[in-house]
Structure 1
Amino acid sequence: MLDLEVVPERSLGNEQWEFALGMPLAQAISILQKHCRIIKNVQVLYSEQTPLSHDLILNLTQDGIKLLFDATNQRLKVKIVGAFWDDVPLSLCVCLCFSGVHFNSQAIAPTIEQIDQSFGATHPGVYNAAEQLFHLNFRGLSFSFQLDSWNEAPKYEPNFAMGLASLQIPHGAMVKRMHIYTGNNLQETRAPAMPLACFLGNIYAECVDVLRDQAGPLGLKLRLLTAGCGPGVMGDAKVRCLERNIYFGDSCQDVLSALGSPHKVFYKSEDKMKIHSPSPHKQVPSKCNDYFFNYFTLGVDILFDSTNHLVKKFVLHTNYPGHYNFNIYHRCDFKIPLVIKKGADSQFEDCILTTYSKWDQIQELFGHPMEKPVVLHRSSSANNTNPFGSTFCFGLQRMIFEVMQNNHIASVTLYGVPRTTSQARHDSSNTH
């Protein structure tokens, strides 16, 4: 049984790990994978057709814990601890303590008197008749008590002493559920900014803008977040915001200087899209392999040419659940300007495609259907299976959009005409 410390508005965890509000989804899953012998039977719950309309949930069924992640930014928003089975008390799911003192364990029942003793007085609670639950709220923390066996709903008596004693609730009422969140209102809570403790020496992309001209993309403008600390003083740690531009034709050294070392370098063994190339030499094997710099926390891959070691391709990942690569990359929050020709007088209009745009909406903007897509079916080399099905690749303005069956964009691959290094650096300096 897990023994966890509750910190209102912040976290739930122990000395080995903690689930902190604002934590990225990938870090929470990494904790679960690392402690899989202790934390078992984990479910990932999401909406397959409308993934942005419902929270993404990690359900720890054995321990009675649900972690709710914001569907847009994929950061931890709410932690729910409770008995999700009517016949199983909370005390048999998990041990909970506050400020080092247990208020729920096999020896201590989470009664309303125990909550009063552990957390002190608070504002009068709220009774929800539809749920038959009584909600008692502290800042960043709330407790729900089951009332289905009571004859009357609880009433607030203003003549009594303030605090829990002013509520006409039978002695021994047990906590059914506990919520940990940010702020005073559970219904209006939002995922906070990522805590400093979650940076772990990584850089994260707040947003990524695609730079382009009339013909197509030229490169990326990345707004980066990083947390460093002063020399020997953790208290000086602050989140810093940086802007970096990367262009087609930039060298390996340019990219390393701007973004730092990648999390992984991947050498391509084959190019499955080569058969669709118009080049007559597409079947001639290359003497050396192109390679990717994988920046997982940015949600970006950068492909370098193996001959001259210059950037030739960018890949932006949206990390939607239900995709084959889900949870490998953090979500890349990108903006891509598209040039749309309007009318017979050849006027052009710009529109912005984002991580959250749906492909059928983009086709409507162009006013005509795209060419037939290339069907992409990923599979593991171990068992050659893909439970999520195929995706569809559409080419548009030197970009390839990988579209899922729910019409959301899984990834965008950007191609460009390589520029000289001196030209790219000159443009970058003008941008700043």
Structure 2
Amino acid sequence: MSMFTAQVHPGQALGFLVLGASLHDILTRLKAEPQRFPKLDVIYEPTAPVREPVILNLPTNGIRLRFDGPDQRLRLIEVLDFTKNKLTYKDRDVLRPATTAPGGPSENPSGPTFKHIYKNLIGPTFPGEYIQPETGSESGMGLYVLSYPGIAFSFPMHSSSWSPGKDVVSLLSSSAGHPAASMAIFSGDSWADARENLYTQTLDPLKSFPPFAKSREPVPDEVSLVRIYGGGRLELVRPSSNGPFWMQLGETTQQQLVAELGPPDAIYRKNDQRMSIHKNRSGGSTGRRDGSEHRQDDSTDTDQSSAHTATDDSENDDEDEEVVGNLSGECFYNYFYRGFDILLSTPTTPSQRPPSKESIGSSDSGDAVPTDASPRLVASKLILHGNVPGSYPFNRHRRCRWEIEYLNEKGEDIVNSESPFKDIERRLQDEWKSIYRNAEEAKQYQRGMVLNRDWGDNPGSSCELLGGWEDSVGGTRADTGERPNGLGNTTLFGFPGLVFEVLKNGAVSGVTIF
């Protein structure tokens, strides 16, 4: 195994581990170097995997990374073992190489000494804070935290040696002082200030990180949030001067997608129709009170992606015939690093507007197929991925956050990607109840459909229904420390214009908008 070598950037990064980077980006980079990072442990809270922090342990490298749950952005970098990596700060070694004292044994400290940090590495700083040992600790060892802007070092110190009036500098600089046990990189003036809002503070854009700023290739603007307005109308929020990108399903062309979002990371051309039998589950379309029809989606395309090739061209004869027969040229644009996939097809009618928005004019949301008969391809579906730890497609896409905007204008709690599905379901049932003849009909259309993610061990199994096969990163339960044997079933729930894939814990793994 080659040792991890990195430059320390206080308040910004440890090598390529940059504060603010997504969990998907970091995991993808680490998995690309198995010789340097042979073991990755993902720790999460199984009952609230998208609300509680996610921890990524690199035990072989002595590093621990902490991400917030909703955005899955890197918030804290911890070095727990200085001997397992080679770190430098302004071309100075954080841990000096082992030395041999004259006439004595070699000195091989487990971490940088207080004197080295204070005198040679970074310099003087304000007095730190002492954290008392945990209740019942037999060792009686607490931690003295020496903080600088964006970086802090923790030194073991016995509680009997600590008192506010003592000269801590002299104590830690003496031969009785312990070397640093850990180092933390964070955003803030000191660790005492940063820990109060570690997972909620706004981080600087990645473009401001010097190595990225000097790169010849520009870092693309991220989509931080997708707002769903109903009727196929979507707002892709970008935290930049470019402003949001408005998408209208059934109208937005592939040229517009590439101009606004850049080229896709992959193109998925395979056509899977194994769930088309469910297109009209009750035997026909649902009649609305106004005489129009409520269009049901077949719920097939909830996770069509290819994690392996830029274009998924089938290799066997049957699949070749299927692709050749698909004269429309339908395909998915996979944006793995943005957290969504877009189905491109010939122009189609988008889903109906929410009942509460029926009074809005047709100019606000396209609800009919364009009159021209050109064979152009347009966006007809958008699949948003939750990247939920413990789910089958974990780490295939980065996490994409979303809000159902037409439900957020009634003075109640915001309905978004972090909401438990039972709350989303209740709000949607209330919004759409007027389009059904009775409660029984609503229940018929809104009941769940179970999908098993664990069947088989090859791409020919049922897991291919929702995407290609990919080895996933092993996860660890935060409550027991054990790895789950299987990821279990997921359930699909459909509403007009929306299909949700829901895990057993109530978290939404993905949502398809059509």
Counterpart contact for 1:339–1:351, Cα < 8 Å: no
Amino acid at match of 1:135: V
Mapped partners of 2:513, 2:415: distance in 1: 14
Question: Deviation digits for residues 383-427 of structure 1, max 9, x if unmatched?
Answer: 849731221111112211111111111111122xxxxxxxxxxxx
Q: 2:385 aligns with which of 301, 317, 320?
A: 317
Question: Deviation digits for residues 364-391 of structure 1, max 9, x if unmatched?
Answer: 4446895421112346634849731221
Mapped partners of 1:201, 1:51: distance in 2: 28
Structure 1 position 301, deviation (Å): 1.6
Does the residue aligned with 1:30 lie in a helix, a strand or coil? helix
Q: 2:160 aligns with which of 152, 155, 158?
A: 152
Name the counterpart of 1:241.
Answer: 242
Q: How does 1:269-308 map to 2 (within 5 A)?
A: 269-278=271-280, 287-288=325-326, 290-305=330-345
Question: Deviation digits for residues 64-93 of structure 1, max 9, x if unmatched?
Answer: 10011111111110001014xxxxxx4x32
Structure 1 position 164, deviation (Å): 2.6
Q: What TM-score does the superposition give when structure 2 sets the normalisation length? A: 0.65
* Distance change (3 Å), C-alpha of 1:363 and 1:406: same
Q: 1:329 aligns with which of 397, 406, 411?
A: 397
Name the counterpart of 2:125.
Answer: 122
Q: How does 1:147-226 map to 2 (within 5 A)?
A: 147=157, 150=158, 152-157=160-165, 164-165=169-170, 171-183=176-188, 184=190, 185-188=193-196, 189=198, 190=201, 192-196=203-207, 197=212, 201-212=219-230, 217-225=231-239
Mapped partners of 1:328, 1:151: distance in 2: 47
Alignment of 1:104 onto 2:95:
yes
Question: Deviation digits for residues 280-335 of structure 1, max 9, x if unmatched?
Answer: 9x9xx893063111122332221122665233222111221112222222222211
Does the residue aligned with 1:241 lie in a helix, a strand or coil? coil
Q: What TM-score does the superposition give when structure 1 sets the normalisation length? A: 0.77
Where relative contact order (Cα < 8 A, 6+ residues apart) is larger, the structure is 2
- Percent identity over the alignment? 26
Name the counterpart of 1:418.
Answer: none
Q: How does 1:26-105 map to 2 (within 5 A)?
A: 26-83=24-81, 90=82, 92-105=83-96
Mapped partners of 2:496, 2:400: distance in 1: 20
Mapped partners of 2:237, 2:407: distance in 1: 23
Counterpart contact for 1:134–1:146, Cα < 8 Å: yes
Counterpart contact for 2:407–2:415, Cα < 8 Å: no
Alignment of 1:373 onto 2:478:
no
Does the residue aligned with 2:94 lie in a helix, a strand or coil? strand
Mapped partners of 2:170, 2:63: distance in 1: 29
Mapped partners of 1:218, 1:349: distance in 2: 23
Alignment of 1:353 onto 2:415:
yes
* Distance change (3 Å), C-alpha of 1:31 and 1:339: closer
How well do the aligned residues superpose, as a CA RMSD in angstroms? Answer: 3.1
Does the residue aligned with 1:203 lie in a helix, a strand or coil? coil
Specify which structure has the higher proportion of strand: 1
Mapped partners of 1:79, 1:21: distance in 2: 8
Specify which structure has the higher proportion of helix: 2
Structure 1 position 113, deviation (Å): 1.7
Structure 1 position 151, deviation (Å): 6.9
Mark the runs of 5 or more structure 2 residues left unpaired by the alignment: 99-107, 135-141, 285-297, 299-321, 347-374, 431-438, 464-485
Does the residue aligned with 1:392 lie in a helix, a strand or coil? strand
Mapped partners of 2:245, 2:37: distance in 1: 40
Mapped partners of 1:381, 1:151: distance in 2: 57
* Distance change (3 Å), C-alpha of 1:102 and 1:61: same
Counterpart contact for 2:229–2:406, Cα < 8 Å: no
Mapped partners of 1:378, 1:114: distance in 2: 53
* Distance change (3 Å), C-alpha of 1:252 and 1:124: closer
Structure 1 position 105, deviation (Å): 4.5
* Distance change (3 Å), C-alpha of 1:260 and 1:111: closer
How many pairs are equivalent?
372
Amino acid at match of 1:10: Q
Counterpart contact for 2:115–2:173, Cα < 8 Å: no
* Distance change (3 Å), C-alpha of 1:363 and 1:246: closer
Mark the runs of 5 or more structure 1 residues left unpaired by the alignment: 84-89, 226-238, 341-347, 416-432
Does the residue aligned with 2:41 lie in a helix, a strand or coil? strand
Question: Deviation digits for residues 19-72 of structure 1, max 9, x if unmatched?
Answer: 111112122112212221122211111111111343211111011100111111
Counterpart contact for 2:25–2:398, Cα < 8 Å: no
* Distance change (3 Å), C-alpha of 1:135 and 1:400: same
Does the residue aligned with 1:254 lie in a helix, a strand or coil? helix
Mapped partners of 2:407, 2:49: distance in 1: 28
Structure 1 position 241, deviation (Å): 3.2
* Distance change (3 Å), C-alpha of 1:166 and 1:123: farther
User: Which stretch of the first structure deviates more once superposed, 121-130 or 66-75?
Assistant: 121-130
Counterpart contact for 1:75–1:194, Cα < 8 Å: no
Does the residue aligned with 1:121 lie in a helix, a strand or coil? coil
Amino acid at match of 2:490: T
